[in-house]
Amino acid sequence: MISDVKRVVLVLSGKGGVGKSTVATQLALALTHNNQKVGILDIDLCGPSIPRMLGLEGRDVQQTNEGWLPVPVDACPQLCVMSIGFLLKGKDSAVIWRGPKKSAMIRQFLTDVNWGPLDYLVIDTPPGTSDEHISVVECLKEFRNPDGAVLVTTPQALSIGDVRREITFCRKGNINILGVIENMSGYVCPHCSECTNIFSTGGGESLAKYADIKFLGRIPIDPKLGECTDDGVDFVHNFKESATAQRFEELAKNLFE
């Protein structure tokens, strides 16, 4: 089902709360603005947030003879999504599964979803290096290796330490690391647009130098981005003049350079 996908990109983080799903969503939207056809596979089974971020809550997955059809994004026809969130009875339903059932679900997502021709398949993973990560890598390698992984961190030392473990996971799994993004790097004032470093800064770039991988840039906190992800609005398109949106556009253009 992924034979017509040109590039498969994993979005990874060592810990939760670093904005990994936000980065995956905005990266996918930025890629579509470059005339790319993109799919997002949400394998964060216990915390599927992609449907809400794209305004798709309550949508159903269609079953055809060729497999499941991913859900298209109405406001962005070049983007489609598959998530466990579409298969749950309600938004308060919890996925309380052991590892083998999670692995079976991920395999089904990778083998039974009819993505059709795509330029990019962005896979949003859960935090850490758990069963889900091993399952997606092993299943992908039956057909092809992932084309690369984007690692997401925040500037703090605690997050940096966890992302080091993610680097080890990628290297042991022979996954090409495209680079590291330092998310929540400063706060953009909604009134004057000045960026203030409310946390530390530079941790992601230091990690990239330490691990000899590419530094993909800093993404500042922007209140408008939080509002857009809550409301399912395309932030990159609606606030294209903002520094944060421009960083995502640059990331999409330079991802494989």
Q: What tokens appear for 101 in the block? A: 């059932």
**pLDDT tens, residue by residue, 219-245:** 988 889 999 999 999 999 999 988 899
Q: How far apart are CA 80 and CA 64, in angstroms?
A: 16
Q: How deeply is 205 buried, as exposed, middle or buried, from its count of CB atoms within 10 A (0-12, 13-18, 19+)?
A: middle
Across 112-132, average pLDDT: 90
The per-residue pLDDT of the chain, averaged, comes to: 89
In the predicted structure, residue 5 carries a pLDDT above the cut 90: yes
Structural domains of the chain ordered from first start: 2-254 (3.40.50.300)
Across 6-12, average pLDDT: 95
Parallel, antiparallel or unpaired: strands 67-69 and 62-64: antiparallel
Across 38-45, average pLDDT: 93
**pLDDT tens, residue by residue, 170-192:** 999 899 999 999 998 888 777 77
In the predicted structure, residue 198 carries a pLDDT above the cut 80: no
**pLDDT tens, residue by residue, 48-73:** 999 999 999 989 899 888 889 999 99
Residue 93 vs residue 55, higher pLDDT: 55
Q: Of all helices (H) and strands (E), which one includes residue 205?
A: helix 203-211
Q: Please say whether the dihedral angle defined by the alpha carbons of residues 53, 208, 257 and 199, taken in this order, is positive or negative.
A: positive
Is the pTM for the entire model greater than 0.75? yes
In the predicted structure, residue 151 carries a pLDDT above the cut 80: yes
Residue 54 vs residue 159, higher pLDDT: 54
Q: How deeply is 231 buried, as exposed, middle or buried, from its count of CB atoms within 10 A (0-12, 13-18, 19+)?
A: exposed
Cβ neighbors of 136 (< 8 A, separation 6 or more) are 10, 43, 106, 110, 123, 125
Query: pLDDT band at residue 114, thresholds of 50, 70 and 90?
Result: very high
